Amino acid sequence: MKAALAAGIALAALATAPTADAAKRGWIYDVKDASGFEHVNFIGDQQGGCELYSVCGYSGDVEYRISGTPKGTLAVTRSKSGKIRGVASYKSKGRTTTRVTPPPEQGGPDCTQTINHGTDTFDLFSRGSHNDRLMFVWHQVGTDYLDTKCGGPNEGAVSDAGVLPQALFRTKDFFDGTKPSFTIHGSTPFRAGGFSSTIDYRLHYKLKARACSPHCRLPKG
């Protein structure tokens, strides 16, 4: 997966990284703050190959935004080889909104839709030959938070283009302290499904390590 533009990473980070039973023991962090958005604007044009998908002249945007006080955890394991794997799942106030406008010659009203979501996710995993980098990826698997009845690029298309909200940072920075805090943002153009599009995003997280880390008993699965 190619990394999208990501910047503004500020880590106030996690616990030191001793060995642990990757299958049963690891770090648990409570998600204390989770806020931000991803936004895609798009237009069906020749550069995007609109004729192939019959979307010439269609335009619009779709946004997913999270807010409120989250409730959930990030569970992290470290294998004997040093590979890190983390999965976060938490309740949040999420909302997807979209508006798609048909070409003028077709006429008809805009398509609009609002979808509320109650949960959100992100993943962490090692990168680099020495596992010295960690990759953060938003919505790598599971629910497609940009998918609506109105069409346009969804997260499947964003993922295929390699531009999901993501960031790369040093493993040792992530494992330094007990209260990680990081912010990522980016803006990347891409083409998919007959549309020329741009994704913009900004995300902010604060986590707090539980006292049992790195020896917490992790939930199965």
With respect to residue 220, please indicate whether it lies within any of the assigned structural domains. no
pTM: 0.85
With respect to residue 20, please indicate whether it lies within any of the assigned structural domains. no
With respect to residue 137, please indicate whether it lies within any of the assigned structural domains. yes
With respect to residue 69, please indicate whether it lies within any of the assigned structural domains. yes
With respect to residue 12, please indicate whether it lies within any of the assigned structural domains. no
With respect to residue 219, please indicate whether it lies within any of the assigned structural domains. no
Check: CB of residue 216 under 8 Å from CB of residue 38.
no
With respect to residue 108, please indicate whether it lies within any of the assigned structural domains. yes
Domain count, the chain: 1
Determine the pLDDT at residue 129: 83
Range of the domain at 57: 25-213
With respect to residue 18, please indicate whether it lies within any of the assigned structural domains. no
Please enumerate in sequence order all residues whose Cβ is within 8 A of that of 94, keeping only pairs 6 or more positions apart, or say none: 64, 65, 66, 67, 116, 117, 118, 119, 120, 145
Q: Which pLDDT tens digit goes with each residue over 166-219?
A: 999 998 888 888 999 999 999 999 999 999 999 999 999 999 999 999 999 998
Total Cβ atoms within 10 A of residue 22: 17
Distance CA 201, CA 183 (A): 11
Q: Which pLDDT tens digit goes with each residue over 20-35?
A: 344 579 999 999 999 9
* Residue 100, pLDDT above cutoff 90: yes
